[in-house]
């Protein structure tokens, strides 16, 4: 029992904290009919449906196959770095930053081990984490809080993309320059003559030297499943855009996975949805406490962008988005602040902890060095992008 509690605290820290503060708020504001208005159902249904589809893609190995296909065309160390950083940058726009890092950081470490380039691992993982966080901020489906803020603000998808595009482009340029100057154009012969399937098998299978890369072989990709999951992804996009009813989106996705792959329901991160529910309850009750409402709304309305950035450094950007949106309708600075606020400290974006855990697991003696590299690069990106936001907004 004790081990289960410790495991829950380690793996679902944010959920546990959210549940505790929600329960405390329920004591201060006893449950009544107003509770029914706390939960933003559209956010939960959209997020849950998207998570199931992405999990389906993961289980048939689509993302690793894409990565291996790109690696088969790499001819230099610099090119390898650019490919590895690009994978989470672009994929996070569609599959969220945490899924991109769960998929590609262990994959990248295995690639670097295979190529004999482990000395570059910490820097590449840092840049991959930055790539996932800045790539995901472009789209409404890039991360959970964007989905929520788009639904709350009712901002059209096109307007959302135009708002975040300049910052994503500048961040992409910075990532490119980091890779260009940090890695030499030294020839890489390791992958020559290997096709995508051979690379994938070499990276995901146990190596002769006894090194077991932290990547598990997924179920073999199936053409018909890929086609069906692409259609489901389209259904989710139509649901997010409100072109089809939410109930229809959920029904189509759920029934399809009941037929195609029931195990998806076991692998979806339901804890994230419960975290949202807990925060919805806490914020709904907090708005009914005059002293708390006046304090938080005062801070948020003084400068919503800076407040969102600073709060994200302490409690991460997802809880910050749920918190500040309950006390202000300044949607543009809130969207900007919570997205840019994912840069900075290790906890600013909870997805960054995925990379940290992967590094600590593979290189337990280098976690301090990784934190230094991570913090320096994140602060650089944060200062540049926040400065840009203050000038433009």
Alpha helices in the chain (DSSP H): 2-11, 13-28, 41-59, 62-71, 77-95, 97-115, 121-136, 144-153, 157-182, 196-204, 223-240, 246-260, 264-267, 270-286, 290-302, 304-315, 317-324, 331-340, 352-362, 367-392
Residues 240-290 pLDDT 10s: 888 999 999 999 999 999 998 999 999 888 888 888 898 889 888 988 888
pLDDT class for 159, splitting at 50, 70, 90? very high
Q: Which two tokens stand for residue 294?
A: 């006046």
Residues 22-61 pLDDT 10s: 999 999 999 999 998 888 888 889 989 999 998 998 888 8
pLDDT class for 82, splitting at 50, 70, 90? very high
**Among all chains, which residue has been given the structure tokens 């689509």?**
62
Res 221 pLDDT > 50: no
Report the pLDDT value the prediction gives residue 123, as an integer from 0 to 100.
96
Residue 213 is given by DSSP the state -
Report the pLDDT value the prediction gives residue 211, as an integer from 0 to 100.
36
Report the pLDDT value the prediction gives residue 297, as an integer from 0 to 100.
82
* Higher pLDDT among residues 315 and 161, named by residue: 161
Environment class of residue 226 by beta-carbon count within 10 Å: exposed (0-12), middle (13-18) or buried (19+)? middle
Q: From CA 37, how far away is CA 19, in angstroms rounded? A: 18
Residues 79-84, mean pLDDT to the nearest whole number: 94
pLDDT class for 326, splitting at 50, 70, 90? confident
Q: What is the pTM of this model?
A: 0.85
Res 339 pLDDT > 50: yes
* Higher pLDDT among residues 42 and 387, named by residue: 387
Which of 10-14, 207-211, 230-234 is the most confident on average?
230-234
Residues 87-108, mean pLDDT to the nearest whole number: 92
């Amino acid at each position: 029992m004790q081990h289960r509690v410790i495991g829950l605290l380690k793996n679902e820290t944010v959920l546990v904290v959210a549940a505790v503060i929600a329960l405390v708020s329920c004591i201060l504001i006893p449950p009544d009919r107003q509770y029914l208005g706390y939960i933003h159902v559209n956010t939960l249904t959209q997020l849950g449906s998207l998570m199931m589809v992405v999990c389906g893609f993961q289980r048939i190995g689509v993302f690793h196959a894409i990565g291996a296909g790109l690696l088969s065309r790499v001819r230099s160390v610099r090119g390898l770095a650019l490919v590895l950083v690009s994978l989470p940058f672009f994929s996070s726009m569609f599959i969220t930053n945490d899924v991109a890092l769960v998929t590609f950081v262990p994959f990248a470490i295995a690639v670097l081990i295979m190529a004999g380039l482990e000395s570059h691992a910490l820097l590449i993982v840092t840049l991959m984490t930055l790539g996932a966080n800045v790539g995901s901020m472009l789209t409404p489906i890039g991360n959970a809080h964007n989905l929520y803020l788009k639904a709350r603000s009712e901002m059209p998808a096109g307007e959302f993309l135009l708002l975040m595009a300049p910052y994503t482009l500048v961040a992409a340029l910075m990532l490119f320059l980091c890779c260009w100057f940090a890695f030499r154009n030294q020839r890489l012969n390791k992958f020559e003559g290997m096709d995508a399937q051979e690379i994938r098998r070499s990276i995901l299978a146990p190596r002769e030297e006894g090194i077991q890369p932290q990547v598990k072989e997924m179920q073999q990709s199936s053409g018909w499943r890929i086609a069906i999951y692409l259609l489901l992804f389209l259904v989710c996009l139509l649901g997010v855009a409100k072109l089809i009813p939410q109930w229809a989106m959920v029904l189509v996705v759920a029934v399809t996975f009941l037929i195609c792959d029931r195990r998806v329901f076991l692998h979806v991160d339901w804890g994230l949805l419960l975290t949202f529910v807990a925060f919805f309850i806490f914020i709904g009750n907090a708005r009914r406490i005059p002293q708390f409402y006046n304090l938080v709304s005062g801070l948020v309305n003084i400068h919503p962008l800076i407040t969102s950035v600073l709060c994200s450094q302490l409690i991460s950007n997802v809880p910050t988005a749920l918190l500040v949106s309950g006390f202000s309708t300044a949607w543009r600075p809130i969207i900007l602040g919570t997205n840019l606020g994912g840069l900075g400290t290790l906890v600013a974006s909870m997805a960054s902890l995925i990379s940290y855990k992967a590094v600590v697991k593979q290189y337990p003696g280098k976690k301090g060095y990784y934190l230094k590299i991570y913090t320096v690069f994140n602060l650089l990106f944060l200062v540049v992008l926040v400065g840009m936001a203050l000038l433009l907004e």
